[in-house]
A and B are shown apart, each in its own frame.
Chain A
């Protein structure tokens, strides 16, 4: 049993749910982790402050891909306020909590990118 690469992580990496570009979409969140070259783009359909649907396209390692897939599963159908309350610690726990410190940024950068864009959307709609 590999601590870092659990069956969950490896399964999500090999067959990630919600991968692709959502068409049509009305929100797009994109960014990366320049220190390693990882990049992600989320495409969302939002209605009345709720994420109705979401997909992601990415280039990255197993940890970041698994996390991005889990993130899309977790936020689908949720209101923005609830998504903003997700902490890095919550996200690491989804993966089983055995992510070594040097790899935590791989796991958490996508959450920040999504939350930042959702904040920007809220500002625009105010």
Chain B
């Protein structure tokens, strides 16, 4: 962490912004054309592109070290195991966890949250409360809804009309003494950042176990779990330059130790008799079966890449781009933007163009090489509360630059021209 901080401090002071041109060259996919145009990838909330170093790390693993982990005493298995274990350590350092014992590799943030709903859910009793917010992705809502069958009450803290968390409502629902409080660090649909530290403290003070869905935060800003103090956090590798199929569950060691296992079978056991079994040490107790070794190694390479740039620099770059994009979009008549002002958001802009459906805007943008998401962004209750069925969403990452924003603006204008809705 220290090394990482120094680097980003240098970039902050000396350059004040990242070398986006250099970064863009390190992502092979950005060389390709879409419909004859420069690829402008603005769906980073959904998934991110991969730098050559990540692709090479995965290839290198399969070409030189591939073996099953924790099983063989031979050279290859030892190498694969070491790399896979080191990936846990790298991830732990990245988010400020104590060590790799607190890092469970899953498929994605969704699986991490389901693991928690299943295991923590076992401890809940009829009449207990669970508190989430209306800003959740379906993955931090639906798993908790399943507990209603057990007689669990699911409370949902409301949002303000501009799409911020209604903090008073959150506090009121905390007074119902929920056993679990699970919330997203930032909304994937609007970009709204939640006051994590304050919420975690308030929830802990009221006696709740705290869970943060970090899927949108961890890739885009510095996160330190020990400073924030949550009990658990979930995030996905593919949203932070890593491969698909690898996700993370962070848990405080003592909390992970006290949880029952989720999936059972190979590697997660210590001893097995015909009648019963005992569990392996952390984090392997939660990683049943042959794990995604290449995925873990790819994630570690992605983290190394992000550390090289510095997470403060990433956050600063995206905030600047968001400010620029917000200003540019304000120049276009007939745009409705959703969510709060840039200083309360990550680099996400959610909007609609008057007179054109979100899907049609996205199709015309695609014809211009601009890749954006349109729809409900896996957050149907939030969009319903805002009174919209669908929106267009553009989301930024470290390789996006001002020409990308300009292409978005040009694309919106050509959609307005095509649909003859220019005022």
- B419 on the A face (CB < 8 A): yes
CB <8 Å contact, B389 and A14? no
Given contacts A36-B374, A36-B390, A103-B359, contact A62 B367 (CB under 8 A): no
> Which interface class (under 10, 10 to 19, 20 to 34, 35 or more) fits B?
10 to 19
What size tier do the contact residues of chain A reach? 20 to 34
Q: Return B43 CB to nearest CB of chain A, in Å.
A: 13
Give A34 Cβ to nearest chain B Cβ, in Å: 8
- List A contacts of B376 (CB < 8 A): 35-37
Can you list, as one digit per residue, whether each of A1-18 has a CB less than 8 Å from chain B (1) or not (0)?
A: 010110000100110000
Q: Could you say which of B357, B363, B375 contacts A60, with CB atoms under 8 Å apart? A: B357
Q: Is B418 part of the contact surface with A, judged by Cβ < 8 Å? A: yes
Cross-chain contact B363 with A4 (CB below 8 angstroms): yes
Chain B residues whose CB sits within 8 angstroms of the CB of A59 once the complex forms: 389
Q: Is B364 an interface residue (CB 8 A)?
A: yes
In this assembly, does B360 line the interface, its C-beta being within 8 Å of a C-beta of chain A? yes
Q: Decide: B420 and A61 in contact? CB cutoff 8 A.
A: no
Q: How many A-B pairs fall under 8 Å by CB?
A: 47
| Nearest CB of chain A from residue B380's CB, rounded to whole Å | 8
Partner of A36, one of B356, B359, B420: B359
Whether, in the assembled complex, A71 has its beta carbon less than 8 Å from a beta carbon of chain B, the answer is no
Q: In the bound complex, do residue A10 and residue B419 qualify as a contact, i.e. CB atoms below 8 Å apart? A: yes
Point out the residue from A10, A37, A39 that lies within 8 Å of B418, measured CB to CB: A10
Given contacts A5-B418, A62-B419, contact A37 B360 (CB under 8 A): no
Question: How many angstroms from the CA of A59 to the CA of B367 in the assembled complex?
Answer: 24
Residue in A5, A34, A36, A60 whose beta carbon sits within 8 Å of that of B364 in the complex: A5
The reply to whether B364 and A37 contact each other, CB–CB distance below 8 Å, is no
Bound-state Cα–Cα, A13 to B364, Å: 15
A111 to B374, CA, bound (A): 23
- Give complex CA distance A106, B358 in Å: 12
Complex CA gap A39/B389 in Å reads 10
Chain A nearest CB from B332 CB (Å) reads 19
> 1/0 per position for A97-122, CB-CB distance to B under 8 A?
00010010010000000000000000
On chain A, the residues within 8 Å of B374 by CB distance are 36
The answer to whether A2 touches B357, judged by C-beta atoms less than 8 angstroms apart, is no
Q: Does A63 contact B (CB under 8 A)?
A: yes
Nearest B residue to A4, CB-CB: B363
Q: Give the residue name and chain of the B residue nearest to A2 (CB).
A: B418
Chain B residues whose C-beta falls within 8 Å of the C-beta of A62 in the assembled complex = 356-357, 360, 419
Chain B residue nearest to A60 in the complex (CB): B357
* Closest residue on chain B to residue A39 by CB atoms: B389
Q: How many whole Å from A53's CB to the nearest CB in chain B?
A: 27
Top-10 shortest CB links A-B: A37-B389, A61-B357, A61-B359, A37-B390, A62-B360, A61-B360, A36-B375, A36-B390, A4-B363, A37-B376
17 additional A-B pairs beyond A2-B418, A34-B380, A36-B358, beta carbons within 8 Å, are A2-B367, A4-B367, A5-B419, A13-B419, A14-B420, A36-B359, A36-B376, A36-B389, A37-B375, A37-B376, A37-B383, A38-B389, A59-B389, A60-B357, A61-B358, A62-B356, A62-B360
A interface, CB within 8 angstroms of B:
2, 4-5, 10, 13-14, 34-39, 59-63, 100, 103, 106
